[in-house]
Chains A and B, each alone.
Chain A
Amino acid sequence: MTEALMGTYAVFYREMLIFKYKLMRLGYVFYSVSTPILYLLAFGLGFGSRVQIPDYGAFLIQGIVCMSSMTNSFNMVSVSVGMGRLHSGEFQTVLTSPVKASAIMRGLVLSGVVRGLFASTMILLAGLFVFHVFPFTFVAFVALVLNTAFFSAAGVIIGVVIDDMENHAVLTNFIIMPMAFFSGTFYPVDFLPHWLQKLVWLLPLSHANKLIRAGELNAETLPSFILLLGLTAVCFTAGTFMLNRYNE
């Protein structure tokens, strides 16, 4: 292993150990997926047949998978970095070690991706159980990885810039939650008024939803894919830059 790889592994392994201990705590799994599964059941069984969307069960599963991958990745990474910096001081230990910023970034993003994919898997399984469908393709998987990578990288940035964990709650309530509700999670974006649709297409989650629902790369979905890829690269670079310039 090269030194950079060791650094990435150190950061990733630490997050995974903490994740493992969380999973071992009875009730954590239930707690972490209870809200999305509640959405799935309430919306799916409630509107199900009444909504003018074909295969609403599958539609909903895809939307909630996408939403949960975002919230899980973003929260895990931003809370880990934010709390590690502001409360426990564990993150300073990483920062004063000889590990390159890009290696730290990779470790954090990778752990966020795993957390996001884990949540998504739980929901896909719940969907399979309740609606007997598994609306997920390889392209959807790639899109999901991109989505989790993007929101993990964004999580690092937020974790580094906030100066109080209260700011984190504010950001979650004013950016992440609205994005979760307006980006086509529960109904297609074109149900929204025209002016709002324009805004919604500026949100990365809308594009992730579009890709996951389409399940294939074509002329219509390729721009979304490229956009998501570009945004991930930008966030990754910005996060690395900020770790490099870190100054208390």
Chain B
Amino acid sequence: MLLEVMNIRKTYGKVVAVEDVSFSIGRGEVFGLLGENGAGKTTTIKMLSTLATPDSGRILLNGRDIRKYRRETRKSIAVVSQDMNLGYELSVFEVLYIYALLRGIRNSKKLIDETIAKMGMTEKRNSKVGTLSGGQKRRVMAARAMLSGAELIFMDEPTIGLDPAVRREMWDIIRQMQADGRSILLTTHYTDEAEYLCGRVAIMEKGRIVSMDTPQSLIDCAGAFAVDINSRTLLFRDNDAADDYIAKESLTGHRVRRTKLDDVLVSSIGRAV
């Protein structure tokens, strides 16, 4: 296992942001953390990236406690944060150059230009980052992670606020990172994204992980067949059960469809409340 998280907890005053969270990420895996606003995703990433100390619990990277091996940990990880943390004044190249220096990468200029080209940002190489569009900024942030050479990349809602086409470009970038052998922890609100990218997902709710498996298993477990009744969705294990229900309740005009991860998320959170 690359990363092992054991029973971590974090409180801010009376607010329990993360409670008893455990999971692990294997090499080359894209692991998804799903959950509504305030579920504790960012707080979890802060703890895993050495920015916040858990109140309790342990985090191992390559079998070593990240608190004891902080510098080694920081060499192995990169963070693409939820906030656009690029500043304003510097150019795309300068941002990446300074990042490369921070990562201790020597003679980085060629590598940076290659990364910029890979991101399709060559035209913007010398533009101030403050003048970039949201999608371009996200790409520069991803470029830093690519550049870092980190084996584990934390991506905190990397596609938030992007239009559908740019979102798919970001998916390609994430797939590319995976193909390069990186492991990724991805948080997102978009279940289609998690379904497409993640080998396994954990659903977080109020600081806890309420379920965790492959997207398909989560769907199967919750019920692979869905019936929409107004704003609610009922999940069924098999098609016949769903048909029976429609017949029994004489719900004319309702049809059975395949369950999506979205439905699982809504129903799991609905159940827990």
Binding site for B on A (CB under 8 A): 1, 3, 6-7, 9-11, 13-14, 17-18, 21-22, 84, 88-90, 92-100, 246-248
Q: Is B52 an interface residue (CB 8 A)?
A: yes
Contacts of A246 in B (CB 8 A): 51
| 6 closest cross-chain pairs (CB), A and B | A89-B85, A10-B101, A97-B102, A98-B74, A248-B52, A3-B104
A-contacting 9-mer, from B76-84, B116-124, B190-198, B236-244: B76-84
Interface SS of B by simple majority: loop
**Which residues 64-95 of B sit at the A interface, judged by CB distance below 8 A?**
71, 74-75, 77, 79, 81, 83-90, 94
How far is it, in angstroms, between the C-alpha of A95 and the C-alpha of B86 when the chains are bound?
14
- Shortest CB–CB separation between residue B150 and chain A, in angstroms? 10
Which residue on A lies nearest to B42, using beta carbons?
Answer: A248
- Shortest CB–CB separation between residue B182 and chain A, in angstroms? 16
Do residues B87 and A247 form an inter-chain contact, with CB atoms below 8 A? no
Contacts of B46 in A (CB 8 A): 248
Q: Is B103 an interface residue (CB 8 A)?
A: yes
Do residues A96 and B90 form an inter-chain contact, with CB atoms below 8 A? no
How far is it, in angstroms, between the C-alpha of A9 and the C-alpha of B105 when the chains are bound?
13
Do residues A18 and B102 form an inter-chain contact, with CB atoms below 8 A? no
How far is it, in angstroms, between the C-alpha of A94 and the C-alpha of B98 when the chains are bound?
10
Contacts of A1 in B (CB 8 A): 106
Do residues A89 and B83 form an inter-chain contact, with CB atoms below 8 A? yes
Given known contacts A6-B101, A7-B102, A13-B98, is B50 in contact with A96 (CB within 8 Å)? Answer: yes
Do residues A97 and B51 form an inter-chain contact, with CB atoms below 8 A? no
Contacts of A9 in B (CB 8 A): 101
Q: Interface size of B by Cβ–Cβ distance < 8 Å? A: 29
How far is it, in angstroms, between the C-alpha of A11 and the C-alpha of B71 when the chains are bound?
17
Q: Is B171 an interface residue (CB 8 A)?
A: no
Do residues B102 and A93 form an inter-chain contact, with CB atoms below 8 A? yes
Contacts of B53 in A (CB 8 A): 247
**Which residues 94-113 of B sit at the A interface, judged by CB distance below 8 A?**
94, 98-99, 101-104, 106
How far is it, in angstroms, between the C-alpha of A17 and the C-alpha of B101 when the chains are bound?
14
Do residues B51 and A95 form an inter-chain contact, with CB atoms below 8 A? yes
Do residues A17 and B85 form an inter-chain contact, with CB atoms below 8 A? no
Do residues B81 and A89 form an inter-chain contact, with CB atoms below 8 A? yes
Do residues A90 and B104 form an inter-chain contact, with CB atoms below 8 A? no
Do residues A17 and B89 form an inter-chain contact, with CB atoms below 8 A? yes
**Which residues 42-72 of B sit at the A interface, judged by CB distance below 8 A?**
46, 49-53, 71
Which residue on A lies nearest to B101, using beta carbons?
Answer: A10
Contacts of A22 in B (CB 8 A): 89
Do residues B104 and A14 form an inter-chain contact, with CB atoms below 8 A? no
Do residues B85 and A92 form an inter-chain contact, with CB atoms below 8 A? yes
Contacts of A94 in B (CB 8 A): 102
Do residues B51 and A98 form an inter-chain contact, with CB atoms below 8 A? no
Do residues A7 and B101 form an inter-chain contact, with CB atoms below 8 A? yes
Contacts of A95 in B (CB 8 A): 51
Do residues B85 and A93 form an inter-chain contact, with CB atoms below 8 A? yes
12 contacts between A and B (CB under 8 A): A6-B104, A17-B94, A18-B89, A21-B89, A90-B85, A92-B51, A94-B102, A96-B49, A96-B77, A98-B102, A247-B51, A248-B52
